[in-house]
């Protein structure tokens, strides 16, 4: 194992947002809260840098002098030093206080380091489009529910028409917004081939034609009319369940922040209850 060290960057009250919060959205950032007068801090800081050298390019280390930067110290309630906090995606993901043995520090960093699936997914993101499938499949083999790898592979498969395999992969992530959105898109693609004018004529009688019309409208981007038709289909006991699923799929495709979703979610609830 390498005995080299990396040198920590310094963050201040003015630069903490950039050097820590924003940076942690790209990779984990370990923040060493210290002060020049603190003896244990002077022992821990080089230890952090030495362990960080084993994770170059994967984890960054940033130092904050709590005396010179009281705003950050107050924000994160630093009461004793040395204090170490790891940030991921803008939030504190792990922390410890006080001088710790090297083995403890090494385990702290290892828990933050990317997994094999993370590395493969990152490799795929950097690869040429025709070279992405192999590392994505390896990542999914390492971790069957790795969100980035599953959605990435499913997107690749869907784009070339392998929609059945893409859908099977996406069902592994029922709570993931990106997976739900892509799965909804796949379901709606199947309805895009229907003749909307013909369905309009048949939909007046309700039933299955009305449900198919709603799906086709959604598939062709006519979302508001699609919701009107599908909510009517929800009120029909014969198409209630399938129509409810179609509405939820359209909501997933539009996203929770959509004005249409906010307007129509209460109407769906009213139609159901």
Token pair in block for residue 209: 């034609």
Helix axes 223-234, 259-272, angle to 10 degrees: 10
The pLDDT tens digits of the residues spanning 224-241 come to 999 999 999 999 999 999
pLDDT over 80 (residue 7): no
Q: Tokens 């249409």: give the residue.
A: 260
- Told to judge if 112 belongs to the known catalytic residues of this protein, a careful annotator would answer no
Q: So what's the architecture of 9-112 in CATH?
A: 3-Layer(aba) Sandwich (3.40)
Name the DSSP class of 7. P
Q: Report the pLDDT value the prediction gives residue 184, as an integer from 0 to 100.
A: 86
pLDDT over 70 (residue 21): yes
pTM for the full predicted model: 0.65
Name the DSSP class of 25. G
Confidence band (pLDDT; 50, 70, 90) for 5?
low
Please compute the mean of the pLDDT values over residues 212-216 and round it to a whole number.
Answer: 90
Confidence band (pLDDT; 50, 70, 90) for 137?
very high
pLDDT over 90 (residue 192): no
Rounded Cα–Cα distance for residues 82 and 159 (Å): 51
Token pair in block for residue 56: 């170059």
Strand partners, 9: 62
Q: Give Cα 108 to chain centroid, integer Å.
A: 23
Q: Residue 207 — left, alpha, or beta (φ > 0 → left; ψ -120 to 50 → alpha)?
A: left
Rounded Cα–Cα distance for residues 189 and 218 (Å): 9
Q: What is the CATH number of domain 191-272?
A: 1.25.40.10
Token pair in block for residue 219: 């598939």
Q: Report the pLDDT value the prediction gives residue 2, as an integer from 0 to 100.
A: 46
Please compute the mean of the pLDDT values over residues 149-177 and round it to a whole number.
Answer: 94
Q: Which of 38, 64, 211, 217 is catalytic?
A: 38
Which sequence spans correspond to the domains of the chain?
9-112, 116-173, 191-272
Q: Residue 50 — left, alpha, or beta (φ > 0 → left; ψ -120 to 50 → alpha)?
A: alpha
- Told to judge if 41 belongs to the known catalytic residues of this protein, a careful annotator would answer yes
Q: Which of 29, 30, 31, 41 is catalytic?
A: 41
């Amino acid at each position: 194992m390498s005995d080299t060290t990396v040198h920590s960057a310094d963050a201040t009250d003015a630069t903490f947002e950039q050097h820590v919060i924003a940076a942690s959205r790209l990779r984990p950032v370990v923040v060493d809260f210290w002060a020049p007068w603190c003896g244990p801090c002077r022992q821990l800081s080089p230890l952090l840098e030495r362990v960080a050298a084993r994770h170059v390019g994967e984890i960054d280390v940033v130092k904050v002098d709590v005396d010179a930067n009281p705003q950050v110290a107050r924000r994160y309630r630093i009461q004793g030093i040395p204090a170490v906090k790891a940030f991921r995606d803008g939030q504190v993901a792990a922390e410890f206080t006080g001088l710790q043995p090297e083995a403890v520090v090494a385990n702290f960093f290892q828990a933050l380091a990317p997994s094999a699936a993370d590395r493969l997914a990152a490799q795929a993101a950097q690869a040429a489009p025709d070279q992405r499938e192999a590392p994505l499949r390896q990542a999914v083999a390492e971790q069957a529910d790795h969100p980035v790898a599953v959605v990435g592979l499913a997107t690749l498969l869907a784009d070339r028409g392998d929609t059945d395999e893409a859908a099977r992969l996406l069902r592994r992530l029922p709570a993931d917004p990106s997976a739900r959105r892509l799965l909804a898109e796949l379901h709606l693609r199947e309805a895009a081939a229907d003749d909307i004018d013909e369905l309009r004529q048949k939909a007046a009688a309700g039933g299955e034609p009305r449900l198919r019309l709603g799906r086709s409208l959604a598939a062709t981007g006519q979302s508001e009319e699609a919701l009107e038709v599908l909510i009517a289909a929800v009120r029909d006991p014969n198409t209630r369940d399938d129509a409810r699923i179609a509405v939820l799929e359209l909501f997933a495709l539009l996203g929770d922040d959509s004005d249409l979703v906010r307007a129509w979610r209460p109407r769906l609830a009213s139609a159901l209850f």
